[in-house]
Amino acid sequence: MLWTAAVLFAAVVAFGIWLRAAGADPLPVDRWWHDLAGVAPDSPAFGLARALAVAGSGIGAASCTAAAVLALLGFRRIRDAGAVATAMLLGILASENLKLLVARPRPWDALLDPPGFSYPSGHSMGAAALAVSLALIAAAAPASPSAPVRPARRRVAWAIAAAWILLMMWSRTAVQVHWLSDTIAGAALGIAAALTARALWLRLRAPREPAAAP
């Protein structure tokens, strides 16, 4: 997981450095998707995208992360809870610093008015960090202490995670506050953060169980 995370993180940083050196202009694929994915301000699609903007905002992402962490702590899944919280913190730290490094302007015809720079997408990063963290937990959890992990559960967990990430990526381009490459980079950064946090917390020893009574 750490090697995969390192490759994703290096790719996001390298592309950001290239953008900064090249002037941070949108790519041809960015322009094509920008024209294709845009929605009308009075459409139901815009309402959905705006709701996702609230859900993926700083307050929304923090609330969802806190709820997941508290639920995991309630089930005494301390390492899983730590991995979820760490993934979000790592993702935010990397995303905010990259925004300052690249300083890519947002699209000129944005339907919303978010602060900050465009690369990478913080909403996409947060969605990926949380969704992948939870999918890793769900995919590794056995059906019972004596039963193996069910393949169907693993497929469902990853399908839900992928759907949530793609929906958030679409929403950021639908309201034209990000280029497509911003959302791809944000999702890759969130995945890298989730994999890194999971790998680090798995290295911690599980607490010893008390010896059974004779």
pLDDT tens digits for range 137-177? 988 765 555 555 577 778 889 999 999 999 999 999 999 99
Nearest Cα to 1, choosing from 207, 125, 151, 9? 9
pLDDT of residue 5: 94
DSSP 116: S
β-bridge mates for residue 147, sequence order = 144
Task: Quick: pLDDT tens for 73-105.
Answer: 998 999 999 999 999 999 999 999 999 999 999
pLDDT of residue 147: 54
pLDDT of residue 134: 95
Segment 1-27 shows an average pLDDT of: 91
- Residue 130 within a domain: yes
pLDDT bucket at 212, cuts 50 / 70 / 90: very low
Q: Is 144 helix (H, G, I), strand (E, B) or coil?
A: strand
- The predicted model scores a pTM of 0.88
- Residue 213 within a domain: no
- Residue 214 within a domain: no
42 in Cβ contact with 127 (< 8 Å): no
- Residue 136 within a domain: yes
pLDDT of residue 209: 41
* Domain count along the chain: 1
155 in Cβ contact with 142 (< 8 Å): no
- Residue 211 within a domain: no
Range of the domain at 166: 2-202
% the chain with pLDDT above 70: 91
% the chain with pLDDT above 90: 70
- Residue 79 within a domain: yes
Q: Is 172 helix (H, G, I), strand (E, B) or coil?
A: helix
- Residue 71 within a domain: yes
- Residue 161 within a domain: yes
213 in Cβ contact with 148 (< 8 Å): no
